[in-house]
Amino acid sequence: AGVVPIAPYNPRNTDHPKDIEYRVEDRITEHSEDVQLKQSVLDETYNHRTGVERTNDAVKDCGLGHVRARGRVHARTEVFLALCLRLVIAITNYERGNEPGCEKL
């Protein structure tokens, strides 16, 4: 699909490393002359990855499998529903006297 994640560039796998920090920088340089990215925006976007990974793990822990939604709106909706389910499980466990942090009822 031509999608390049905002992920760190690994210079160890080449004899001629590029002067970039994120892989997407090389793709933009290759295909566009008038698009520029702010390094601070790339850093901020990459730092949000931890929260996304944690949410994906919560979805799997609740038995919903992998997030397979395509597109930002669909993925956000699926993650929102997964977090709602996780909240319901925590409330139910609390009311039953179980550990609220437990992922299963």
Is there a domain that residue 91 lies in?
yes
pLDDT tens, 78-102? 778 877 887 887 888 888 888 766 6
- Indicate the pLDDT class of residue 71, thresholds 50, 70 and 90: confident
Is there a domain that residue 48 lies in?
yes
Separation between Cα atoms, residue 30 and residue 20, nearest integer Å = 13
Could you tell me which residue, 104 or 6, shows the higher pLDDT? 6
Q: How many domains does the chain have?
A: 1
Q: Is the pTM of this model over 0.75?
A: no
Is there a domain that residue 58 lies in?
yes
Checking if the pLDDT of 105 tops 60, the result is no
Is there a domain that residue 6 lies in?
no
Is there a domain that residue 52 lies in?
yes
Is there a domain that residue 56 lies in?
yes
Is there a domain that residue 81 lies in?
yes
Average pLDDT over residues 23-51: 79
Domain of 69, in residue numbers? 38-96
User: Average pLDDT of the chain?
Assistant: 77
Checking if the pLDDT of 17 tops 80, the result is yes
Question: CB pairs under 8 A, 24+ apart, for 21-24?
Answer: 22/46
